[in-house]
Structure 1
Amino acid sequence: MKSKMNPMPDNEPQNPFEYTRPIVDKERYIPRVGMVQNIINELYGKNNVSVMGAKRTGKTTLLFDLRERLDRAVYIDFKKFSYSDIGEVLSDLHKNADKQISNTFDELIVEDGNSTHALVKMLHVLGECAPVVFLIDELPTPREVAYQFLVAVRAYYLEAIAESAEKIHTFVIAGSVDLAVLTQDMNPDISPFNIAIPLYLKDFSYPEIQEFIHRLAVGRFEDREIEKIFRYTGGYPFLVQFVCHHLYGMTKGKREEILQKPDIAVRELPLEKTPSIKDMLGRIGAFDERDRPGAVLIKRILRGERVLFNFANKQILGLYLDGAIREDEDGYCAIRNPLYEVVLRRALDIPNAEEPEKVVPEKGTGRKSGRRKIPGRIIEIYG
């Protein structure tokens, strides 16, 4: 079908790169073989797993891959709705399990559906049949309901372990939030959710990106173009799909023009208009009049300060899960990729290292103040 606004020749192949939805077609995603096997190994040991990563890193794709490899697995997408109470979560879990595993709930009737006890009871009764792996795609919202859900899962799991139950349900919970941090934030008086093995989704390597692009767009991109795409995106799945999607229908000359520098790519491609970018900037407080701690930390990194990367630091963990930063080779915080560095500099009004910072008059003095970056420190300049 041709578009009147942007006609496409009949023989033009369909753009194979998709960045607006999860990729579930095996032919169109990069398999995480090592991660999948690690999770399966943990599940065989009756361990729960918390898969953490920024949005659009392939968590849903990973869960679909797991579902195909496991005998009794139930995939539940909790991010589709906002729940008023734990009873609605229980109902949704019940419905999905009954649909995906036949004859599971024929005899199961659970009362008191509005309490965490009902969810614990349901899991115990279900355990009399056969163990199930629940693949949770994001925690339910709001946070109060997510907290109640985690409390129920923890209570069930610890009771099953204490009773030496042979059939124990396990959970793979994928999301952009640390489960222990969430439970502690909601109620610091209880033990954190510490019954899941934490695994972090990393961006893809150059060989993985190279194979992926060549597989989806045979003969379309040259290796030197793919090298730049990888360097600019850092192997972040969403960005790779986004950049390739927009470059796919362009001439070689136009692609070369856009891939000259990251700032040209950001200017020419509608990256800053995507919901993913707007969400990330909103989470770190880029649009607030007063700087949030996350925005302050990002500014420090952009100005060249060396900040140790530490998952125990809630600010650093939060920025990592928001997709803004990563750990560099020396163990320090770094902006996730060159394209995001351009976006963050523009949003936070931080110039590039080779550019002078803006010089503005100081209030009430008539003097101008600015900053000049000196290796290892920042000196205030007045004049």
Structure 2
Amino acid sequence: MAVNNHPTVNETTFHTQGPLPPTVEHLYVKRLSDAALERLINQRDYVALIGPRLSGKSSMLLRQWARLQESMLHVPVYISLGQFKDLPEDEWYGHLHRQIVRQTNGLVPEPPQPAEHALALQEEIIDALESELRGKVLVIMLDQVESTPPELGTGFFATLREMFTNRWMRPALQNLIVVLAGRFVPDELIKDPTISPFRVTEIVYLEDATLENITSLVSWLATEDRFLSLEVPARVFEWTEGDVYLTHKLCAGLARDIPQGPVLISDVDRAARRYLYEDDIFRKMWHQIKADPDISSLITKLLEHREPVRFTLLQRHIMVAWLEGAIRSDAAGYCVLHSLVHESVFYSMQRTQTQNGDSRPRRAHAMNLHEDESVLRDRYRLDHVLHPGLTSYVYRATDLQTGDKVAIKQLMVSRQLNEMAWHRFQRESDALKRLSHPNIVRLLDAFRDGDFEYIVMEYVYGGSLFERLNREGRLPLQQAIAIAQRLASALDHAHHRDIIHRDVKPSNTMLTPDLAPRLADFGVARLNYHTRVTLPHTVIGTTPYLSPEGCLGETIDARGDIWSLGVMLFEMLAGTLPFVGRTDELIARAILEEPPPDIRARRPDAPDEVVLVIEHMLAKSVSHRISSAREVYDRLQHALSKL
């Protein structure tokens, strides 16, 4: 659809710059933090409203300002400190003093000589509370706190802290409320280590919008001439993950592109690539990320999907990355990149930087998803990166012939550069061609396009079992057993075709919306009819799920897959792994030397038959372990029939 260069009336209702004006109050996304801020103001607390870049802090403050304007008790003042950032000290305090006075609606007269320093401002405020504002509650809301000049910050915030701690010595100060909003670390407001830190505020962290919030916002796209398909709000949320700014910008782009007629999910995908990927916010964000080695390392770790990182605002680099808007916490409390847009743009920026910084041809580059023409064989349009790797990338794509979503794996290295990676890619394709089972990801196509090899597979919408376990911990009893039973059936199908998976784990298990598992990633599978790719005594797999023989680098047969499935069943029931350690070496030692924990200690409702199956699947001796996936399937089926 062609871009309309003439903005429509509806386009202007979506707001992409500055706080929301009162004329578009219907587009305000009300979140839990709204209620928290309102409650704390009503309690006369000092409040720190902290949130990422362009997350809606100013709009939230102005809504509170408008609410308090209706009150006979409150005198609200809203000031953006960003407008004073280049002023010298005496002018900075003078402008702040005048702004406070002017917003009292004439209750406080204009000072002949405004305050020139922090203590003078404090006395002026106290004098006003004891005279002109007697019986009123002065609510001073200061936005963009991080723009306070460093040379003024310590004195200013130390004075605010003193005004709070002196509330009971100076009763007038009990009628003063201060709200500080912005992107800042509270303990860094007072930088002088000889002065107590600024710890007098109740903190409200601004969260992202929910799917319900985004659905309500996106619904305003609909007009008499334009209507939305039912899937559009969910697709917008899939792109933005509740980022309010990106959602407004995406909706504004859709309104521009489609002044009338239906808005389809394909339109959302097109608009996301066109309007979001090139936003200047990402350039600013990336500049800040690369300026801090700790943050840069964190983002690289998340881009490469290494080990999970706990989300905690107590660690400065995580806090600052969140304030920049680069990351968020997932439902399980781990760091993830803020949205699919952030992930795709950061991948592109990192690849560009690597290419510019080192001209040596280490590997091929992934497709440029900023361009609408990222279409393979005139059929598969690449939408965004699902998973990057050193030797391959996985994309979500659209089959333009059927309209279906598909997953496409792209080999990133040539055979000359990395023969082992090339062989494994070919092996995964060969394995999937031989497999046809409802609980194994289906192969749809395999081809070479230009310099790249591709595998096209079905796209599974429900995410991975790893993500579900991170969100929910342990699973309901019947659900966990049913997932393990179906995976046993998938392994039985593969084993009968001489294919050993060798990396059975939750992140290689996709879940459909109705929780049917799909076993994926046969990249390290052993095909008994193939030439050996792995060197002898090489450890293959992921340590927590490795069998004892796998830890020793010995050959893994079907019973190695059964051990891994036993670990997964234990984890689904208990919410924890049976063998843990701080390093891979310690985990391997536990696998080799320690007995499996008693599942009943963590899951008392586990049936006797399931407890026995787990014990037999996790037998350290291969000869004592269950020998076939079919036996696991049958025994779990029998256990399910009794529930």
TM-score (norm 1): 0.82
Q: Deviations over 1:96-134 (max 9, x none)?
A: 2222213333285667x4322112212221221233000
> 2:25 aligned with 1:22, yes or no?
no
Aligned to 1:276: 281
Contact 1:359-1:370 within 8 A present in 2 as well: no
CA distance in 2, matches of 1:114, 1:192: 24
- 1:39 Cα deviation from its structure 2 partner: 2.0
Measure, in 1, the Cα distance between the counterparts of 2:198 and 2:192.
11
Shift of 1:255: 5.5
Change (3 A) 1:211 1:367: closer
Give distance in 2, aligned partners of 1:110 and 1:45.
33
How far apart, in 2, do the equivalents of 1:200 and 1:322 lie? 14
1:159-238 equivalences in 2 (<5 Å)? 159-165=166-172, 167-183=174-190, 186-218=191-223, 219-238=226-245
What is the one-letter code of the residue matched to 2:324?
D
Match runs of 1:1-383 below 5 Å: 8=6, 13-15=9-11, 16-25=13-22, 26-32=24-30, 34-70=32-68, 71-106=74-109, 113-128=115-130, 129=133, 130-139=136-145, 140-165=147-172, 167-183=174-190, 186-218=191-223, 219-251=226-258, 256-257=265-266, 259-260=268-269, 268-285=273-290, 292-304=293-305, 305-349=307-351, 352=385, 353=387, 356=391
Deviations 1:33-69 (A, max 9, x none): 6433322322232211111111211111111110111
Amino acid at match of 1:63: L
Which stretch of the first structure deviates more once superposed, 307-316 or 240-249?
240-249
> Whose Rg is larger?
2
Greater Cα shift, 129-138 or 190-199: 129-138
Give the AA of the match of 1:78. Answer: L
- Matched-pair contact (CA < 8 Å) for 1:48–1:195: yes
Distance 2:348 2:163 in 1: 48
Q: Hey, what's the Cα distance between the residues in 2 that align with 1:82 and 1:359?
A: 50
Distance (whole Å) between structure 1 residues aligned to residue 140 and residue 420 of structure 2: 55
Residue 94 of structure 1 aligns with an amino acid whose one-letter code is H
Identity of aligned residues (%): 22
Deviations 1:218-266 (CA, angstroms, capped at 9, x unpaired): 3533220111101110111100011111122325789644545xxx665
Shift of 1:175: 0.3
The verdict on how the C-alpha distance between 1:173 and 1:354 changes in structure 2, with shifts beyond 3 A counting, is closer
Q: Is the 8 A contact 1:247 1:255 kept in 2?
A: no
Tell me which amino acid in the other structure corresponds to 2:181: A
Gaps of 5+ in 1: 361-365
**Preserved CA contact (<8 Å) 1:84 1:145:** no
- Structure 2: gaps (5+ residues): 69-73, 355-365, 367-384, 393-411, 425-522, 524-540, 545-583, 585-643
Q: CA deviation at 1:165?
A: 4.2
Q: Is the CA contact 1:319–1:325 (under 8 Å) kept in the aligned structure 2?
A: yes
CA contact (8 A) 1:157 1:168 kept: no
